[in-house]
Every structure is written in structure tokens, then in C-alpha cells.
Amino acid sequence: MTTLGDLGEFGLIDRLSRLLPSAPTVVEGIGDDCAVLRLFDRLMLISCDMVVETIHFRREYATPEDIGWKAATAALSDIAAMGGTPLFVLVALAMPGMCEIHCIEGIYRGLADAVSQVGAVIVGGDTTRTPGYLTIDVTVVGEAIGDRYVARRGARLGDLLCVAGRLGMASAGLHSLEQGEPQPELVRVHNRPTALITQGQWLGACPGVRAMIDVSDGLVQDAGHIAKAANLGVDIDPARIPIDPALEEYCRKAGLDARRFALTGGEDYALAFAIAPGAYEVCLTNFRREFRTEITVVGEFTSAWKGVRVAGHPADRGGFDHFR
């Protein structure tokens, strides 16, 4: 018998997507961050993200507010990766019966804060008890701006792989918690990541941006998704990956490789995108003017191979696969 452990999350999604019928109103279906749907002659975006205690969070490492905030951010970030605007949020919560109400209310406060921050609103959901672990599923409905969105597929040969936002800080924050020596600046990114909604919208409108994804599972894995969707390979140059000074310092003191966190650590919710080489300079300049932060070129798409290489060497599976 094949188990989920054998197949992995992405193997499962491949199998399921072959099982399920589609429809003409489904513009982008299973296989992207977010579904794109034709509704009332416009483009609606919808995505959900489910987190489970002990797999995605631990109550000893995060406050209830942090847990709610992060669960919302994970789902909102999928809308950011399409260049869309989040509007409405549903929250389904499965709770152990002995959960204290102040914990549940804290989770909802964190959810509501993250959702309000981006101008969206929680409109409903479901609650149930569970004999298992606290489980939160957040569904976000959004809209595409002017019927334009950026899919995961769309990268072309020779496109540059770019990153907006931080890499590796969230996973280093978790590492510091697990070591019992929490590094506040990194822990904050781990517990309170930001969905780059405005940046995503800006990039979605930027000429030459052809494919985008949010870095939830690590750059190697998520850049691999863009490459796979385009039937291309990608080469990541680790020397070009931006390393935050706090991450650098933590790794230096602990004798760890900052670049490894930046390559494989998930949950910073940076945006990785493919851009036409000729469009890059203008995009960088204008992005810097708009957001006072950098976009960094970290690699290039190629037809010379499939999958991800780091400095030319095939990357072993370095991301976070939920079943392995």
C-alpha cells in the first residue's frame, strides 16, 4: 500500500489534480498558490491554508495571538503571490475540548489583526472540537486588480529569478527557539511574518514580471515550483541571496550557515518571481523608490536541465514537504 509518507505532499497534489474535473469558469485551478475563478464577469482569487499544532506551531514558542496572526498571513500571502487584493476571510478551527477560551480568543485576535492590517475582514467560519491537535484552516477570497494576476507558471528561458523580502529569518527564529536561546529579532519574523500584499500588487502590475510564488516552503523548493510549471530548470546563485544582518550574526555566533537557512527555510513569505531580463533594471529602481527595500536577482531560468541547481549543483530536497 502506498502511504502519504511515500508520495509526499506534491506527489499527492499531482495525483489528486488528475482525479478532479475542472470547469470553464476555473481560470487557474489546482496547482497554483491560489485558484483564479471567473465570477460575475470578474476574476476572483481564493486560497486556503491549514496549520496544525506540533507541525506548524507550538504553544510553547508562540502566543495565541502569534498563532492566529501567522495562520492568517500564510493564507493572505497566497493572494499576495498573485498580485491580488484580499477581501474576505473564513476561519475553521478544530479545538481540543479543554482549550481555554482566552487561548481561542487570542488566536482570533491575532487572526483579526493580520486580516485588518491588509484591509480584509473575517466574515465567518466553523468551529468544532477535536480529540487531536488544534487545527486552523484560513480561507481568503480576493480579487485580481483589473483582471490581471500573476500565476506560478509563466517563466521563460533566460528570465531572472528575483526575491522581494526576507529569506531564512523565520526558520532561524524557530531554530533559536528550539535551541532554547531565542533570538528576538528572528523569533519575531518566525511568529509575526508579513504577507507582502502591496508589494505583490505592485509586482503584479510591473511589466516583465511573468510568474510569482510566495516563499512558504523555502526558496529552493518554491523556485523549483516556478521552474517546474514552466518546464524549465533554475540555477540559484547562493552568493547573491540577501542575508539579513540579524541572521548573519545569529549564524556566526552559533557556527551555522546563514545561506542554508536562506535557501531552504520557509515561512518568511518573501515573494519569488521570474522577470524578463530587459525589464529588471526599471523594476528594481522603481521598487526601491516605492518600498525603500531591494529586489535581489538570485538566479536564472534555463532549459539546460529540469529542477533546481544551487551554484550549478543539483539541489537535494531542501524545502519543507509536509509529509516526509
Q: Collapsing DSSP states into helix, strand and coil, what is residue 261?
A: helix
Residue selected from 25, 179, 198, 303 as contacting a copy of itself according to rule CB under 8 A: 25
CB of 30 to a copy of itself, least distance (A): 5
Please choose, out of 22-30, 163-171, 187-195, 298-306, the segment that lies near a copy of itself by the rule CB under 8 A: 22-30
* Choice between 74 and 283, CB closer to a copy of itself: 74
Quick one: which of 104, 254, 276, 279 contacts a copy of itself (CB under 8 A)? 104
Figure out which of the listed residues 73, 77, 85, 135 binds a copy of itself, where binding follows CB under 8 A.
Answer: 135
> Using the rule CB under 8 A, is 16 a contact of a copy of itself?
yes
Check: CB of residue 226 under 8 Å from CB of residue 155.
yes
| 194 contacts 170 by C-beta, under 8 angstroms | no
Q: Are 225 and 289 in contact (CB under 8 A)?
A: no
Question: Does residue 112 interact with a copy of itself by CB under 8 A?
Answer: yes
Residue 82 C-beta: closest distance to a copy of itself, Å: 12
- Total residues at interface with a copy of itself (CB under 8 A): 79
Choice between 107 and 186, CB closer to a copy of itself: 107
Given a contact cutoff of 8 angstroms between Cβ atoms, the answer to whether 140 and 78 are in contact is yes
> Cβ 22 to a copy of itself, closest distance in Å?
6
* Binding of residue 12 to a copy of itself (CB under 8 A): yes
Cβ nearer to a copy of itself, comparing 98 with 239? 98
- Region from 23-31, 154-162, 164-172, 226-234 binding a copy of itself, contact rule CB under 8 A: 23-31
3-state secondary structure at position 255: coil
Instruction: Output phi, psi for 303, to 5 deg.
Output: -100, 5
Grid coordinates representing 308 are 533546481
Window contacting a copy of itself (CB under 8 A); options: 35-43, 57-65, 150-158, 308-316:
35-43
Q: Smallest distance, Å, CB 279 to a copy of itself?
A: 29
Q: Enumerate residues 6+ apart whose C-beta is below 8 A from 63.
A: 106, 110, 191
305 counts as binding a copy of itself under rule CB under 8 A: no
133 lies in the site for a copy of itself, by CB under 8 A: yes
**Quick check: 139 binds a copy of itself (CB under 8 A)?**
yes
Which of 73, 76, 97, 224 touches a copy of itself by CB under 8 A?
A: 97
52 vs 284 by CB, closer to a copy of itself:
52
Q: Dump the DSSP string for 195-222.
A: --HHHHHHHHHSTTEEEEEE-SS-HHHH
In DSSP terms, 95 is beta-bridged to 129
Is residue 148 within 8 Å of residue 83, measured between CB atoms?
yes
Q: In the beta sheet, which residues pair with residue 145?
A: 148
| Surface-to-core class of residue 84, CB atoms within 10 Å of its CB (0-12 exposed, 13-18 middle, 19+ buried) | buried
Nearer to a copy of itself by Cβ, of 31 and 158: the residue is 31
Of residues 210-269, those binding a copy of itself (CB under 8 A): none
Beta-sheet strand order (sheet of 135-143):
26-28, 35-39, 42-52, 135-143, 85-96, 121-130
The reply to whether 56 sits near a copy of itself by the rule CB under 8 A is yes
C-alpha span between 272 and 214 (Å, rounded): 6
Please, which residue, 22 or 239, has the CB nearer to a copy of itself?
22
Check residue 145 for interaction with a copy of itself (CB under 8 A).
Answer: no
Q: Is 178 exposed, middle or buried (0-12, 13-18, 19+ CB in 10 A)?
A: exposed
User: Cβ of residue 190: shortest distance to a copy of itself, in angstroms?
Assistant: 18
**192 grid coordinates:** 509575526
Rounded Cα distance between 85 and 102, Å, is 31
Q: Which of 42, 58, 59, 253 binds a copy of itself (CB under 8 A)?
A: 42
